[in-house]
């Protein structure tokens, strides 16, 4: 029988890791992230990003994002509070991951989960070379466009900009450690959980 005393990994705390998930909007990211955080046996704490974009209906400061003015964002950037920042979609809005958010997860003995764009992810890969990076793909460009339009929240101009951005992001997908196709929500979540578990096993063997 495998008791706790025989299991060496049970005695030592799980090493802290940063997990990064990117993928075009419309790839089903938000739903996947919510399911993952709920179901993952490895505790994950989502890093709440800061942004200068205005809140959408129902979004709350400190839950969905820290909504900052340009001045506040810039001041915190200058003070070195961010791990990475990026102007996403070229729409004039800034997004960034605060170091304090990564520390928050560490203090909770959890892994820090970042849902950020490719530019930010490349920066995180430099700072945390052992970050577990996952690129979420849609099954095909047509499905992606269909999902984007189906949300009904974006103007044609925004949709075109997001399609262009998605094309650009897809070209970077092979820089990520893992690529997962979101053909079906449940199986995508299951695949991500199993690759996280695999990372724990790989770690404990080292």
Residues forming the site for ligand 5GP (CB under 6 A): 25, 49, 53, 84, 86, 88, 95-97, 115-117, 119-120
Handedness of CA 191, 180, 143, 154 (dihedral sign): positive
Q: Between 17 and 94, name the residue whose CB sits nearer to ligand 5GP.
A: 94
Q: Note whether 20 and 122 are within 8 A (CB).
A: no
CB of 2 to ligand 5GP, least distance (A): 40
CB of 44 to ligand 5GP, least distance (A): 16
CB of 177 to ligand 5GP, least distance (A): 17
Q: Between 27 and 40, name the residue whose CB sits nearer to ligand 5GP.
A: 27
Q: Which residues pair with 61 in a beta bridge?
A: 65
Q: Encoding tokens for residue 155?
A: 């103007």
Q: Between 122 and 196, name the residue whose CB sits nearer to ligand 5GP.
A: 122
Q: Between 42 and 87, name the residue whose CB sits nearer to ligand 5GP.
A: 87
CA-to-CA distance for 125 and 174, rounded, in angstroms?
Answer: 13
Q: Between 119 and 143, name the residue whose CB sits nearer to ligand 5GP.
A: 119
Q: Encoding tokens for residue 190?
A: 């299951």
CB of 139 to ligand 5GP, least distance (A): 19
Closest CA to 116 of 108, 127, 124, 106: 124
CA-to-CA distance for 40 and 34, rounded, in angstroms?
Answer: 10
Q: Encoding tokens for residue 42?
A: 């490895």
CB of 119 to ligand 5GP, least distance (A): 6
Q: Between 9 and 31, name the residue whose CB sits nearer to ligand 5GP.
A: 31
CA-to-CA distance for 27 and 6, rounded, in angstroms?
Answer: 42
Detail the DSSP E strand segments found in the chain: 18-22, 44-46, 50-51, 66-67, 82-87, 94-98, 111-115, 132-137, 178-181
How many residues would you count in the chain? 206
CB of 87 to ligand 5GP, least distance (A): 9
């Amino acid at each position: 029988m495998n008791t706790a005393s025989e299991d060496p990994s049970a005695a030592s705390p799980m090493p802290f890791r940063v997990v990064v998930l990117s993928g075009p909007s419309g790839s089903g990211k938000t739903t996947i992230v919510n399911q993952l955080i709920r179901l993952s046996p490895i505790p994950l704490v989502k890093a709440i990003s800061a942004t200068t974009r205005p809140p959408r209906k129902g979004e709350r400061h400190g839950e969905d994002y820290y909504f900052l003015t340009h001045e506040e964002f810039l001041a915190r950037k200058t003070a070195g509070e961010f791990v990475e920042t990026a102007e996403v979609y070229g729409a004039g809005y800034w997004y960034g991951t605060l170091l304090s958010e990564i520390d928050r997860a560490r203090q909770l003995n959890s892994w820090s989960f970042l849902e950020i764009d490719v530019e930010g992810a490349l920066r995180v890969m430099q700072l945390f070379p052992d970050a577990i990076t996952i690129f979420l793909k849609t099954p095909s460009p047509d499905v992606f466009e269909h999902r984007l339009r189906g949300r009904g929240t974006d103007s044609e101009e925004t949709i075109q900009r997001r399609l262009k951005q998605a094309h650009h992001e897809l070209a970077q997908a092979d820089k990520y450690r893992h690529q997962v196709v979101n053909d079906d929500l449940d199986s995508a979540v299951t695949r991500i959980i199993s690759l996280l578990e695999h990372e724990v096993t790989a770690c404990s063997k080292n």
